[in-house]
Amino acid sequence: MPQIFPRKANSLPAVSLMGALGGGIVVVLVIWYYFSPRFTDVGYQPAQPVPYSHAQHAGQFAIDCRYCHNHVETSEHANIPSTQTCMNCHSQVRTESLKLLPVRESWATGTPIPWVNVHFLPDYVQFSHAAHVNVGVGCESCHGRVDQMEVVSLEEPLSMSWCLDCHRNPEEHLRDPAAVVQMGFNEEVRADGESFAAYVDANRARVEAEGIQPPQNCSACHY
């Protein structure tokens, strides 16, 4: 058989296929980037490996947030509870439930439950839970009504301007440190202009007396 095309041409289909694929990938990535919700988008609500409900545990049963997130007052990070914490109850309660099968498996094998992280900041931002919680910023101010969530979602943008909005006006957000985990804390006060103004004034006095000064300088939040 005479060769009609030079040997080199054999690679042409492969090359053009790769080109087409490469172009396709770029298009897909661009569309993906612009149209998929980013983890910083309010409303981000990843599916979790166990149908664990805060509305049931923290709402209906009123289990204190700190029973599970027990490092939140002493550490930078609020921990996700270990399987043992769940088994404190679930070794006796609903021991046959299929919804709890992954929890029992995790307990039996010692493999942690692969919970999907909902809130995170870029590495170049410094943030401490303890510093906020101990001075009286409630979980609710940053995470919303977790006690009403079947599945946790991102309620606040966690952007730099969001941090700074509160750092400039902390008196609007502070509460008695004893009430940091309380949900629906001062809803009636907030709904009424006059009472809210009085609340803010009282907090302003506290801010001055205690020298509460949320930082606005770059190096406080950035390494």
- Interacting positions 135-154 with ligand HEC (CB under 6 A): 135, 137, 139, 141-143, 146-147, 152
CB 77 within 8 A of CB 126: no
Q: Is residue 199 at the binding interface for ligand HEC, with CB under 6 A as the rule? A: no
Q: Is residue 107 at the binding interface for ligand HEC, with CB under 6 A as the rule? A: no
Provide the minimum distance between the beta carbon of 20 and ligand HEC in the complex, in angstroms, as a whole number: 34
Choice between 25 and 160, CB closer to ligand HEC: 160
Q: Is residue 106 at the binding interface for ligand HEC, with CB under 6 A as the rule? A: no
Choice between 159 and 195, CB closer to ligand HEC: 159
d(CA 71, CA 85) in angstroms, rounded, equals 13
Window 63-82: residues binding ligand HEC (CB under 6 A): 63, 65, 67-69, 72, 77-78, 80-81
Of 104, 119, 204, 206, the residue at the interface with ligand HEC (CB under 6 A) is 119
Choice between 188 and 210, CB closer to ligand HEC: 210
Stretches 8-16, 27-35, 104-112, 166-174: which one binds ligand HEC (CB under 6 A)?
166-174
151: left (phi over 0), alpha (psi -120 to 50) or beta: beta
Of 89, 179, 197, 198, the residue at the interface with ligand HEC (CB under 6 A) is 89
- The encoded tokens of residue 184 equal 């629906």
CB 78 within 8 A of CB 152: no
Q: Is residue 185 at the binding interface for ligand HEC, with CB under 6 A as the rule? A: no
d(CA 221, CA 214) in angstroms, rounded, equals 11
Provide the minimum distance between the beta carbon of 27 and ligand HEC in the complex, in angstroms, as a whole number: 25
* CB contact set of 159 (below 8 Å; sequence gap of 6+): 40
Q: Sign of dihedral through CA atoms 54, 60, 64, 70?
A: negative
Choice between 58 and 199, CB closer to ligand HEC: 58
d(CA 154, CA 120) in angstroms, rounded, equals 10
The burial class, CB within 10 Å (0-12 / 13-18 / 19+), for 44 is middle
Of 10, 178, 213, 223, the residue at the interface with ligand HEC (CB under 6 A) is 213
Long-range Cβ pairs for the range 93-102 (8 Å, 24+): 99/50, 99/51, 100/50, 102/49, 102/50
d(CA 64, CA 70) in angstroms, rounded, equals 10
Q: Is residue 158 at the binding interface for ligand HEC, with CB under 6 A as the rule? A: yes
Choice between 103 and 199, CB closer to ligand HEC: 103
